[in-house]
Chains A and B, each alone.
Chain A
C-alpha cells in the first residue's frame, strides 16, 4: 500500500498542538460539580480519548489517500510499432502490383497481432493513411481503400515518406520501432535530404526494412539506408518474392514473450473513512446530544460525501475511446454558417481532438454510409493531420444517416469499455430517433452532437454558383431538431468558441477523465470533516 498524499501525516501534529494549546480553552469553570457529578454519565475517559485518537488516525490515513497496487503477473507478447509505407505512384499499377502488394500486406498485418500498425502512402507527396493503431481490422479496412495515385501519380517522394514515417514515432517510447517500405522506384523529388532522414531513423532507433520491386532504383543508396538503421534491404524481381520477404520480416520480428507485471492502482481510503465514521458515531453516542455531537454529525456527513464520490480506480478512463464522426453529405455545403457547415465542422473537430482528454480517438466521415479515416489511436497529431486533409469535395454517397455513423464507430471500437461518438452534422432530413435511441441503449454507447446548421437553414450552393435543385425545386436544408433528443450532450454552432469549449468540458467530465479533480473533491470533503472533528474536540462552545 502506498500513499498519494503522505504529507497529510502532518495533521497528527496539528492534533498534538491542539492538545497542548487548546487545553485551557477547553476547560470550563463551574462552581457546583459536587451536585453535578451525581448525574454525569459514567465514562471511561481512556476509552473516550482512544476513540478520538482512532478517529484521528482513520481520517489522517484517509487524507493520505492510500492506494493498493494490485500486481498481476501476465505473460505478454511485446508488440512492435510498425509503419508500412507503400508506394502508390502510377508505376505500381503495372501488373496489378499495387493490389497484389496490398494483399500481401493484409496477410502480414493479420499475423501481427499485438503490434500497433500505421499505413502511409506516397507518390507526389507522402500521406499518413492510418496512424499507429492496435485495431488491426480498422487498419486493414483502410488498406483496402488505398489505390494507386491516391497520393499523386507522377513522382516518388520516397525520402519525404521515410521522413514522415519517423514522425509517427515521435511520441513513442517503445523499443521495437520498424518501418517497412515497398517501392518500385527511386526518390524523384529530392525535397528532403537523405542525410536528414538517416539521422532521424538513427535518433529514434527505427529499423528500416526496404523492399525494392523491379530494377528501377539505385540499389546501393537504398541498401545503405536500410543497413545503417539495423534493418534489411530486399530487392525483388516480382511480386511473388514480396510474399517471401514479408514472411522473412515477420520471422525477424518475433515479438518477445515476456513476463509482465501489470499494476493497477486502487484507492482504498474508503475503508478508513468507514472506520472514521464508526468512531465518530461511537463518540456521538457517548457524548449525547450537544454542540460537540452536532459538529461530529456534520463531520460524519462530509465523510459520507467523500465516500459517495469514491473513485474505484485511479485510472478508470484508460480503456475508453471516442469516434469523431463528421457528416460530409451535400447539405454540409450549405452556408447558413459561414463559410459553410463542413468547414466549421472541421474546425470544431480539430478543436475537439486538441481539447478532449480521451485516450483513444478515431475519425470517421459519413453520409448514408460510414467511412473510416483513422482507427482508434493515441496519435492526436496524425488525426489532426487527417482532419486537415479532409474534404467533402468527393461525393461518395448522398444523405445523412446518423445510425450508420454509430454503427461504423461501434464496429471499430468494439474492444473499448467506454465508447462514445461525437457527431458534427446538421442531422439530415430524417432521423429515426426511436431506432437510434434503442441502438444506443443496446450497445451502451454515448452520443454527443454538435449541430452545424441553423434552424432556419439555407439553400445549398454548388461550385458553379448555382443552387442545388431537385426536379426544378430549390432544395433547402435546415437543422434537424430531433438530433437533440438522441444526444446525451447537444450543442448548436453559434460562432462562440466558449460554448463549444463548455460542450467539450461536458464530454471530458462524462468520460470521468478528470479523476484528479475527483480526488481533490474527496480530499476537500475529508479535510472539512477533519476541521469539524478538531473543532468538536478542542473548540470552546456553550450549549
Chain B
C-alpha cells in the first residue's frame, strides 16, 4: 500500500492540533522553561543562556542550565526486519516515524533517524543538515528493502548506543517480537517504545502441521502446532511484553502498542504529548 507523504502530514496535523496547542509540556519540551541550576559557561555555551546577575556576582561568566534539555535530542530507531513486511506493519511504522519526525521538527528538536542495513550495520540520518527532514525520512523508509533485513536487535541497539553519546529521547519503533536489549540505552536515555503489531502476531491462527516461513529470520521450517502451542506462545509473548514495559517505565520511558487495523494518529499524538 503506497502511503502518500501529504496524507500522513495532514492526518498527524489534524490529530495533534488540539493536543499541541497552548503552553503545554510535551515529550519534546521542558527546555528554557524551568531553571535547573546556574554554572560557569564553557566554549559551547549559548550567549542567550548567560545569567548576567550571577556573572556580576561571581565575576566569571555564568549561564543558566534548564531542566532536562536532552529533550531536544530526538533519536528514532526503526527496528526494521523482514517480519515488518507481514501485513501493514512497515506502512504503520512509516506513518509513526514520519509523524513523530514532523511533530519533533515543529518542536525545534534535533532529530536522528537510524535504520539498520543489510550489512549488519546502521544508517544514520540527521535533521541538522537536511532541510525537509520529515519528507526525507519518508523517502528513506519508503525505499528500505525490508525483505533483505533480518532481525538483529542486539547489533542495532548496540550500534545505536555507540553513536548516541548525548542524552536523548530515543523512539524505538518495531514489532518487539523478540527481546530488545534496551539496557544498552537505559537509563542514560529516555526510551519511548512504539510497538507495531499485526493482530496475528499476538493471536496466531496457524494450527496443524505447517511449513512456516519466518521473514524476520529468513528461515522456512515445518512445525506441528497445536492449540496448546498457541496458548503457550500467547502467554510467553505477554510475559515478554510486560518485561519490556517494566524495564522502560522504571527508567521514565513510555511504551505504546499500535495495531495495523487501527488508526495510529490520535494514539501517537497522545503519546507525544503526555508520554
Contacts and interface: CB of A to CB of B under 8 A. Distances in A.
Given A29-B214, A286-B224, A289-B227, 17 more contacts: A27-B211, A29-B86, A29-B213, A29-B215, A30-B200, A31-B82, A31-B83, A31-B175, A33-B221, A34-B178, A34-B217, A35-B177, A36-B204, A42-B224, A43-B224, A288-B226, A543-B205
Interface string B211-253: 1111111011111111111001100110010000000000000
Interface residues of B, number: 40
Interface residues of A, number: 31
A370 B222 CA distance: 77
Interface string A42-61: 11010010000000000000
B207 A543 contact: yes
A28 B217 contact: no
Interface string A17-38: 0000001001111111111111
Contacts of A543: 205-208
B39 interface: no
A487 B213 CA distance: 68
Given A290-B207, A543-B205, A543-B208, A31 B227 contact: no
Contact of A291 (B178, B208, B228): B208
Contacts, number: 124
Contacts of A34: 177-178, 214, 217
B207 A40 contact: no
A252 to B, nearest CB: 76
B224 A32 contact: no
Interface of A: 23, 26-43, 45, 48, 286-293, 542-543
A34 B215 CA distance: 11
24 contacts: A27-B211, A28-B212, A28-B213, A31-B201, A32-B201, A32-B204, A32-B233, A33-B223, A34-B177, A34-B217, A35-B236, A36-B225, A38-B233, A39-B229, A39-B233, A40-B224, A41-B229, A45-B222, A287-B208, A287-B226, A290-B208, A291-B207, A292-B207, A543-B206
Nearest to A42: B224
- Top 4 nearest A-B pairs by Cβ distance? A31-B83, A288-B226, A290-B207, A292-B208
Q: Is the interface of B mostly helix, strand, loop or mixed?
A: mixed
Given A26-B211, A30-B204, A292-B208, A39 B236 contact: yes
Residue with the highest number of chain B CB atoms closer than 10 Å, among A31, A36, A288: A31
A526 to B, nearest CB: 23
Contacts of B21: none
B14 interface: no
